[in-house]
Every structure is written in C-alpha cells, then in structure tokens.
C-alpha cells in the first residue's frame, strides 16, 4: 500500500513540474476546459437561482393549498373553447364550501382586480396591487405583520373600510411604517383606515412583492365592481387540514362544488381544482428541461476542451519519449508512467475547472448586484459538480495518451527520442 502511495505522490509531483515547465501550453489547454466548466456551472447556477426565487415567492403558501377557478394551471383534456365558457366561482359557492367541506383548515374568497393608485394627503403611490380577500387568507398564506393587525371576520363580511399595507407603501405614504397605523388613505375614491403593516419582504422574481401591495376586505371590492365584472378574477383558495389525504379531499371538494352547481353525473365539471403541488411539479419539469438543454449546449464547449487536453497530452508524450525510455530503463513500472501522464491531464482539467468556477462566482456576485433583490447563487452542490466534471474530463482525455506512454518499449523510446 505504501509503495502505491509513493508512486502516486511521485507521479503527482512529476505532473506538476511538467505543467510548470510548459506554461503557455498549459494555459492554452486550460482555456477550453475553463470555458466548458464556466458554461455548464453558469447554466446550473442560473436555473437553480431561478427555481429558488420562484419557490421563495410561493413560500407563504403550502403545497397542499388548492385554488378553485375556471382556469387550469396546466394542460387539460377539456377543449379550449369549452373551458373558456366556464362560469367564474362565486362568493356563495365559497360560503357553501366553507360550511360543508370536512377536513377544511381554512378557505378564502379572493378577487383579482386591476392595480390602483393610493393617496394619503399630498403623497400618492401609483399602480399598487390590490389584494381583495376574506380574513382567512391571512392564515392560508401565513402573512406576517410588522405593525397592527389584519382585518377580522366581521370586518371582512361587512366590507369595512379598513386596509393592511405593505412596508414600502407605508414608507412612501407616511415616511415611516411605524407612523401608518390609524392613518387614512384613499383607494377607489373612498377613505380607508390603515389597521396593519406587513413585515418587509424584499422584491420578488418579477418585481412583485407584498411590500408594494395592500390588502382590503373582498366584500368592499365586490360592492365597487359587482359580481359579474369582467375586470375581476374570482378564486376560492382552500387549505386542507394537515395529514388529510389530498386525493380524497379533492374528490370531496369536487363533489361539493358539483352538487352546488347542480351538475349531472355525465356532465363535465365546469371548474378546475388546481393544487400548488402540481404547479411546483410543473416548475421542476421546466427547470429540469432548462438544465438539460443548457448542459447539452455547454457540453460542446467542454468536449472541445477535452479534445484540447487529449491533443496536448499526445504532444507531451511525443516530446518526452526519450525521458520515458530512460525512466523505464531505470526500472520505472508501466503504472508509474501511466499515473504520471494521467495525473497531468487530471490536474490540468481540474485547474481549468476551478478557474471556471471562480469566474461563475464573480459573475454571480456582479449579476446579483445589478439585478437588485434577485440573488444568483453558486451552491456547494454545483461547485462539487463542476470539480467532478472537470476531473472526469481530464481522466477521459488523458487515458489514451497515458496508456500509449506506459506501453512504450524503453529501447525504442530512447532511440526515437535521440
């Protein structure tokens, strides 16, 4: 065992000296591997960062959360012309589901409405997302309050003129979020009393954030827009109790809403029950496809780098034929010669890979600075993948030159090198 360790050490040192003595050739060999590893790890890091940001923007909602509406999150067997004629879910259906569905932890009726301007005395914020929800949405999305409180069931049912604002909205209107509670703002030309301010969250993937949103009781929005306004997008958000079988719960939910709508057994359901887990799986599939495409494209760069190393190693074997013959005539084993060139190829590839990883690290820092709150992350997993790939490329690229060097006849090698 000690003999093999000594052979490995001597081969390693010999490889390092060979690389040091041929700096220009080493540099040119590094370029291909560096570009290849940079391309692959940059793709992996970008896709991982994108996935992380998307999941972060959904972190408030549990994967078991269900959204009922007339559209589907993913592909459906129902023809487009048919589901486009489906009716919107209604507030009455929400109340029916809330009263009659077992194993229900919370349910909320929400309306998607156009962005609106908010005023407070001389200050004004334009294009503000409005969250029109019932009081239970606070528990479903696990909203966090920095100041004050969220509106309660009585305020939600009666459509009270109360509002919960995001941290950035509070700062822009009142100078400091701590000064917002009890102040009045004007939305839709009506006066609302600020009862709560959400904790600062930071910008999301597409610039959307709870910091720049406000939340008001859905029933005041229903009074303003009406129940048949095409500018609103109603949804019923449902959260089952923990430990409940999701398939059974969805089947029960489907049966309840079909019963409420009076659908016959042979009629198709005129609504879609979308589970966030399905959306998460869709994101996984998309990012997986992006990774695969990126790896295939980047693989060509790495392939060029591998051929470059193999070419350089064959040149190195030819240049050192005489030296190889002398080593073998002095008793060097074939394994020593094999390891000597194999280590040289692997070290060359790993150094190129490390440089590529360093460049990705620098680019990720710069990209994070220029994109604000979106953070590009070079994870330890991707660093390990980059190092492993570069070592594998070196091993594959160097194996043939190393074998050819180890099989040289010492007499012929000395004669050829003279």
Please give the mean pLDDT across all residues of the chain.
80
8 A C-beta contact, residue 345 and residue 395: yes
Report the distance separating Cα 112 and Cα 231, nearest Å.
8
- Which phi and psi angles does 26 have, rounded to 5°? -60, -45
Mutual angle of helices 23-57 and 380-406, in 10-degree steps: 150
pTM confidence score? 0.60
pLDDT, tens digit, 9 for 90 and up, residues 176-226:
777 789 899 999 989 999 999 998 876 554 445 788 889 999 999 999 988
8 A C-beta contact, residue 34 and residue 356: yes
Residue that has been written with the tokens 């799986």 in this structure: 281
pLDDT over 70 at 294, yes or no = no
Residues 6+ apart with CB under 8 A from 237: 65, 66, 67, 68, 107, 108, 109, 110, 137, 140
Burial 209-222 (b: 16+ CB within 10 A, else e): bbbbbbbbbbbbbb
369 vs 240, more confident: 240
Report the distance separating Cα 135 and Cα 146, nearest Å.
17
Report the distance separating Cα 180 and Cα 147, nearest Å.
9
276 vs 100, more confident: 100
Report the distance separating Cα 50 and Cα 72, nearest Å.
23
109 vs 11, more confident: 109
pLDDT, tens digit, 9 for 90 and up, residues 373-396:
556 777 777 788 878 888 888 888
> Cα dist. 359→35, 158, 293 in Å?
10, 58, 21
pLDDT, tens digit, 9 for 90 and up, residues 297-333:
667 767 777 777 787 777 777 777 777 777 777 776 7
Report the distance separating Cα 248 and Cα 103, nearest Å.
10
């Amino acid at each position: 065992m000690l003999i093999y360790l000594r052979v490995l050490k001597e081969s390693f040192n010999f490889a390092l000296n060979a690389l040091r003595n041929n700096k220009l050739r080493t540099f040119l060999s590094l370029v291909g591997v560096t570009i290849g590893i940079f391309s692959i790890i940059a793709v992996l890091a970008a896709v991982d960062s994108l996935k992380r940001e998307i999941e972060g923007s959904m972190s408030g909602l549990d994967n078991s959360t269900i959204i009922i509406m007339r559209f589907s999150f993913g592909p459906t067997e129902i023809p487009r012309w048919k589901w486009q004629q489906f009716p919107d879910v209604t507030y009455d259906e929400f109340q029916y589901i809330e009263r009659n569905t077992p194993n229900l932890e919370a349910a909320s009726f929400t309306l998607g409405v156009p962005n609106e301007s908010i005023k407070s005395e001389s200050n004004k914020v334009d294009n503000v997302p409005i969250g029109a929800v019932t009081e239970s949405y606070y528990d479903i999305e696990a909203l966090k309050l920095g100041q004050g409180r969220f509106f309660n069931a009585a305020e939600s049912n009666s459509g009270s003129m109360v509002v919960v604002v995001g941290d950035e909205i509070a700062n822009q209107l009142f100078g400091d979020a701590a000064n917002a509670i009890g102040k009045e703002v004007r939305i839709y030309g009506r006066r609302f009393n600020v009862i709560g301010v959400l904790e600062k969250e930071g910008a999301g993937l597409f610039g959307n954030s709870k910091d720049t949103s406000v939340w008001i009781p859905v029933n005041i929005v229903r009074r303003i827009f009406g129940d048949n306004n095409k500018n609103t997008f109603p949804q019923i958000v449902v959260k089952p109790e923990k430990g409940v079988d999701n398939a059974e719960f969805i089947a029960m939910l489907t049966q309840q809403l079909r019963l409420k709508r009076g659908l016959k057994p042979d009629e198709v359901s005129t609504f879609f029950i979308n589970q966030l887990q399905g959306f998460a799986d869709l994101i996984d599939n998309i990012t997986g496809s992006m990774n695969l495409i990126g790896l295939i494209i980047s693989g060509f760069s790495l392939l060029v780098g591998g051929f470059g190393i193999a070419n350089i190693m064959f040149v190195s074997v030819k240049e050192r034929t005489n030296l190889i013959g002398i080593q073998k005539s002095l008793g060097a084993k074939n394994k020593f010669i094999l390891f000597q060139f194999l280590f040289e190829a692997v070290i060359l590839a790993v150094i190129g890979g490390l440089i590529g990883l360093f460049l990705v690290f620098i680019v990720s820092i710069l990209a994070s600075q220029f994109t604000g709150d979106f953070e590009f992350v070079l994870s330890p997993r991707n660093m390990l993948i980059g190092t492993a790939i570069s070592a594998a490329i070196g091993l594959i690229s160097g194996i043939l030159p190393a074998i050819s060097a180890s099989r040289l006849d010492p007499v012929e090698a000395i004669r050829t090198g003279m």
